[in-house]
Structure 1
């Protein structure tokens, strides 16, 4: 059982309302929604008034009691409720009013700066805890924190790869109004999770406390430090590889082997970092790792890479610190004797693509950068028109100026002239106010029109994906990856063509098929409204590959032809693989294409397959497909 605690705001303005709205309601877009150019879904308002109205609306909306259905009550005052399809447990009067109840209690203690407490519990895929076990784990964790009698709401979420629950609690006791001490809370939560793992036999996880070989809970002795928060945010929210992640992937294992040796030399440590395009330097009283090509970038603390990579550990064994040796420039036409940079960190590259080829990683990163520049350009160009406001105000002002001049000539009595001027001044202000209101209405009408509405970056990318933009489809898949939702487009079939990592292509026009793009970047190819194929970039899934003389298998190979060809492997039942191999042979014999499989066994099967060994032939003259 994995324990996590949300990072608190530094300004002390954490809100029970926003926290409970996040944990109990599901207002976000679903990743398996089809992108429709006619309808553009805007995100709901996040103001406290709007959030509270939505929470109350789930109970009172049109009298629909199913939005908040109490499933079970307990003698100690707590109850379980199905709230907006999210199963919750709370000891407050209602989930919708829990935020108000907690805030009312928190106001009784004026010394506590931040009474909001939020943590979550997560279970690996190998565990399948019941609902009662999940809620029991949450209550046990609250008891370990000394908040068993405090107000809380626990919500079970199943929208990620791992089943987890969020616990929102009030640190102020509802009777004594004393604040619960949150010192060493992470250690307490980890110990409580180990106790639940022993009780129910769940998968044992690491943390501040671990279970030893004698089934006893002891303090962990791990020296490796966790990923810095900035690096974690960069990789999770932006899908960009951090300097920490790059250094760990390229250097940690080799540095660990060097530090385990009996004799340690600074030169060997520098050699490992040089090959990765990094440099070890002194910074203050310690060591830091810099990016050689961009030394102005924020460096990485050396102990983050390895806990023993510090001056206090290394100087007694390796001597005084030695600077990095000179780096030679690689030249294929001459023999290089010095240290050469073999790789380099590029912040534009994406964390999920590290196993892809470097050329395609660069191409994908450049396409994403160009996509952002195009959005910025379109955003600048999409300006609200002026509606000729300047000339209209000027014309109105000139009209009253002429009327004032006419009064000067037509009215000779000074008192009547002055009175007429006052009347004109009043009429001028009235006309100016009417013109301002008219312009405001015209601008509001212009903004209400869907074609004039300024799109957010996500909505703009969805519109570009509908136009067949490969970079936009890749961006959608990146967002789906970072969210790690289980609600992605459901898997279609186990008959699959496996392709290379980040092998993205634009939608392909296939006769008889229509394509639709989901919010997770999956391209669905349908025939008569029924999904026949799904292109996820790294895989092509085909349903019913043997029906209609194998139309879907032929179409799947047409899609695979458009890929890079770095990886092309059939995966699925043996019958499917055999027939797909025979189809590749027939395609190659017809001379239409040279389709090469990357799996040696499958390629050998294609080459050795004799005519009598081949399964029943599949027609290539199907009227539903174009070559």
Structure 2
């Protein structure tokens, strides 16, 4: 088992409202996500209870108001409540009032700004711990954290591959109103996992602590240190190899071999690093590895490259630090000169480690220049000025001039007042026309994309259209990356046992059946699942079959029924011969049972097999209709909640 401590909000006001809305009521779904009735129905508004209310609602999977049923109450007042399909445990008065009780208790401590504490106990995918073991693990963990008497709500979730338990606890004590200090809580929970694994015979998981055969806990020691945070971010976000990654790739294995042979020394260490374009120096009380081509640049700790070349380790085994020896001995020129075989090139991508280095180096430099050009474009971009204020002031100034002219030329007061009104009317008319014109100009800027700076991808596309080679190379790099990701996803999927191909536009509706659950994806893919595993997938132009075992006949019934919903004019079944034959025979049995939709294919040899098998079944079971009734017909008027029928003995030709 293992433990997960989700990160908390930095403003000290923990709330799970946004998380719940994203998980359950979000409108935009990814292409692979399923479309369910709950997802398209109007979401229920949540009570705005910050802190414990949102957390309890999340761990209890409470969407609207699920029915709660008290399962048991212990003498200590600990309740087990079944909230919908989620089994919860709390030491509050009730599950419905747990959030209010914890909020009221937390309000008694004005120094504790965020009293919500949340962690998750998770078990491996092939483990199925009992509720008693789970809740005992929760209580033991809270006891080790010093929160044995604190209010808590624990909920067991079984809707994922790993059974896990959410625990939401109140850091404020219900009697003393003192807040529990959660320093070093991750280490304490890791120790709890090791103890609980031995007590309840759970599978041992990896963690920062491990237990030996005598039951003593020891901190897990890493063989090799992980990459520093800055080096990892550089390689992840910029796709550029860091100095740490280069040093590890070029020297770590070589250093390990030399240390294993007990041939390490200061001179040998300096020479190994020099051949790879690296140097070693004393820095900040330790040893640092730096780039010989750029000594003033970034450096990495020597112990991060290999733990056995730290200053403490080298001094203890090989004496005081010694500087690098000369690479050339003028007194013995016959010995030759130490050769630098390789050097660190920060402008190269992480994957650039082998041949075609020169061409890739030029492409990397060109892309750096392309990015610098885009940064200059963003820095110097200015929003188009429509001079709206100036144009309005011009109209107002024109009205003032017109009024002054009237004042100097017209002597009749009534006529002068009338002409003043005319000037004002002309001003209002011109301003109204100017507003409409500005609206059109802003809309034009918005349509052409000139109202805001272009994004990196849009700018690269524009430069590629204008004939920029670096921009075109960048677009091809993006396309290659997407293709590689799609290929990796494809290799992870299991290959189907049989595939039925159809003609274009030969679609069929969803097939409600008593044995499988129907899952509809956003892109129109229909998956028929049983026990959470996909067995039949309808992509529209083809149907793929993934039986879980050879005795799983109901999967073949379903695949034949889905195929029968098509016209069958151009249908062809491909795959292993054994699987193709079984699907053909399953379709023939459906036809012999007078199913609503007949199973047929376009391939003549396969159709002949179906006809012969169907005739054989009709002749054999003409006088035994009861046995043929055990074969599902998948009628369109069959109710969705029809119980599954188990076929024990499949008739075979």
TM-score under structure 2 normalisation? 0.52
Shift of 1:264: 3.4
Inter-CA distance 192–65: structure 2 relative to 1 (3 Å threshold): closer
Task: Tell me the residue number matched to 1:211.
Answer: 211
Q: Deviations over 1:152-191 (max 9, x none)?
A: 5668899999776665544333443211122332321111
Equivalent residues of 1:79, 1:91 under 8 A apart: no
Distance in 1 (alpha carbons) for counterparts of 2:522 and 2:380: 27
Unaligned runs of 5+ in 1: 35-47, 329-334, 497-510, 519-525, 533-546, 554-571, 577-627
Choose the corresponding residue for 2:478, options 469, 472, 475.
Answer: 472
The whole-number CA distance in structure 1 between the counterparts of 2:491 and 2:395 is 59
The corresponding residue for 1:171 is 171
Superposition map of 1:418-457 within 5 A = none
> Conserved in 2, the CA contact under 8 Å of 1:209 and 1:217?
no
**8 Å CA contact retained: 1:364, 1:471:** no
Separation (CA, whole Å) in 2 of partners of 1:401 and 1:165: 76
For 2:392 and 2:199, how far apart are their aligned partners in 1? 78
**With CA pairs under 8 Å and 6+ residues apart, which has the higher RCO, 1 or 2?**
1
Match of 1:16 in 2: 14
Q: Compute the displacement of 1:283 (Å).
A: 1.1
Q: Equivalent residue for 2:592?
A: none
Deviation at 1:146, TM superposition (A): 2.0
Give the aligned partner of residue 582 of structure 1: none
Q: Residues 177 and 204 of structure 1: is their aligned pair in 2 closer, same or farther, counting only changes over 3 Å?
A: same
Please tell me whether the aligned partners of residues 462 and 476 of structure 1 are also in contact (alpha carbons under 8 angstroms).
Answer: no
Aligned to 2:187: 187
Distance 1:93 1:412, change over 3 A: farther
1:539 matched residue in structure 2? none
Question: What corresponds to 1:403 in structure 2?
Answer: 402
Q: 1:97 to 1:321 in 2, by over 3 A?
A: farther
* Structure 1 contact 88–154 (Cα < 8 Å) conserved: yes
Measure, in 2, the Cα distance between the counterparts of 1:433 and 1:95.
62
Q: 1:145 offset after TM fit, Å? A: 1.3
Q: Match of 1:198, SS?
A: helix
| 1:32 Cα deviation after fit | 4.4
SS of residue in 2 equivalent to 1:279: strand
1:145 aligns with 2:151: no
Q: Distance in 1 between matches of 2:433 and 2:151?
A: 54
Q: What SS does structure 2 have at the residue aligned with 1:16?
A: coil
Shift in Å, 1:192: 0.5
**Against the structure 1 CA distance between its residues 530 and 446, is the aligned structure 2 distance closer, same or farther, given a 3 Å change threshold?**
farther
Distance 1:158 1:480 in 2: 30
Assess if the C-alpha contact under 8 Å between 1:404 and 1:424 holds in 2: yes
Structure 2 residue runs without a partner (length 5+): 34-45, 329-334, 465-473, 506-520, 524-537, 545-567, 580-653
Do structure 1's residue 315 and structure 2's residue 321 form an aligned pair?
A: no
Residues 469-506 of structure 1, C-alpha deviations (whole Å, 9 max, x = no match): 5433455589999xx9x9x998362699xxxxxxxxxx
- Give the Cα–Cα distance (whole angstroms) in 2 for the partners of residues 65 and 166 of structure 1: 13
Task: Provide the rounded CA distance (Å) in 2 between the counterparts of 1:383 and 1:263.
Answer: 63
Question: Comparing 429-438 with 127-136, which one deviates more in the overlay?
Answer: 429-438
> 1:602 maps to which residue?
none
Could you report, residue by residue, the CA deviation over 1:49-84 in whole angstroms, capped at 9, with x for unpaired residues? 99989x98x99xxxx98556467656425656579x
How far apart, CA to CA, are the structure 2 residues paired with 1:340 and 1:51? Answer: 66
Q: Any idea what SS the aligned residue of 2:141 has?
A: helix
* 1:366/1:206 CA distance change after superposition, 3 Å: farther
User: Which moves more between the two structures, 260-269 or 430-439?
Assistant: 430-439
Deviation at residue 198 of structure 1 after TM alignment: 1.9
**Is 2:23 the partner of 1:25?**
yes
Whole-angstrom CA distance in 2 between matches of 1:4 and 1:21: 17
Contact map agreement 1:6 1:118 (CA 8 A) in 2: yes
Once the two structures are superposed, residues 202-228 of structure 1 have per-residue CA deviations (whole angstroms, 9 ceiling, x without a partner) of 4423444312134x1422262655554
Q: Give the 3 Å change call, closer, same or farther, for CA 294–213 of structure 1 in structure 2.
A: farther
* Cα displacement (A) at 1:386: 4.8
Quote the Cα distance in structure 1 between the aligned partners of 2:30 and 2:423: 61
Measured in 1, the distance between the counterparts of 2:123 and 2:461 equals 33
Q: Distance in 2 between matches of 1:69 and 1:29?
A: 25
Which deviates further from its counterpart, 250-259 or 65-74?
65-74
Q: For residues 77-133 of structure 1, give each alpha carbon's deviation from its aligned partner in whole angstroms, at most 9, with x where no partner exists.
A: 5656579xx998777899999988766654432334654545455555665667876
- Which range moves more in the overlay, 181-190 or 139-148? 139-148
- The 1:376–1:116 alpha-carbon spacing in structure 2 relative to 1, beyond 3 Å, is farther
SS at match of 1:210: strand
**The 10-residue stretch of structure 1 (311-320 or 122-131) with the greater mean CA deviation from structure 2:** 122-131
| Superposition CA RMSD, Å | 6.8
Aligned residue number for residue 587 of structure 1: none
What CA distance in whole angstroms lies between the structure 2 residues aligned with 1:279 and 1:49? 62
Question: 1:292 offset after TM fit, Å?
Answer: 4.2
CA distance 1:187–1:397, change in 2 (3 Å): same
Which deviates further from its counterpart, 374-383 or 168-177? 374-383
**Contact persistence 1:71–1:80 (CA under 8 A):** yes
- Measure the CA separation in 1 of the matches of 2:355 and 2:125: 30
In 1, the alpha carbon distance for the partners of 2:483 and 2:84 equals 31
In 2, the alpha carbon distance for the partners of 1:88 and 1:361 equals 58
Give TM-score, length-normalised by structure 1. Answer: 0.54
Measured against aligned partners, the alpha-carbon deviations of 1:567-599 in whole angstroms (never above 9, x if no partner) come to xxxxx98999xxxxxxxxxxxxxxxxxxxxxxx
2:287 — aligned with what?
287
Going from structure 1 to structure 2, the CA distance change for 1:390 and 1:269 (only over 3 Å counts) comes to same
Report if the CA contact (8 A) 1:303-1:309 is conserved. Answer: yes
Contact 1:78 1:92 in 2 (8 A): no
Counterpart CA distance in 2 for 1:371 and 1:341 is 31
Deviations 1:238-297 (A, max 9, x none): 776655455445444443454456563023323444455443221121122334455555
Give a deviation string over 1:523-553, Cα, whole Å, max 9, x none: xxx9864489xxxxxxxxxxxxxx9999999
SS at match of 1:173: coil
Residues 548 and 79 of structure 1: is their aligned pair in 2 closer, same or farther, counting only changes over 3 Å? same
In structure 2, how many angstroms separate the alpha carbons of the residues matched to 1:456 and 1:133?
Answer: 53
8 Å Cα contact 1:16-1:99 kept in structure 2: no
C-alpha separation between the residues in 2 aligned to 1:159 and 1:375?
46
Distance 1:203 1:109, change over 3 A: same
**Structure ID, larger Rg:** 2
Equivalent position SS for 2:309: coil
CA distance in 1, matches of 2:322, 2:307: 19
Is the alpha carbon distance of 1:405 and 1:112 closer, same or farther for their aligned partners in structure 2, counting shifts above 3 Å? same
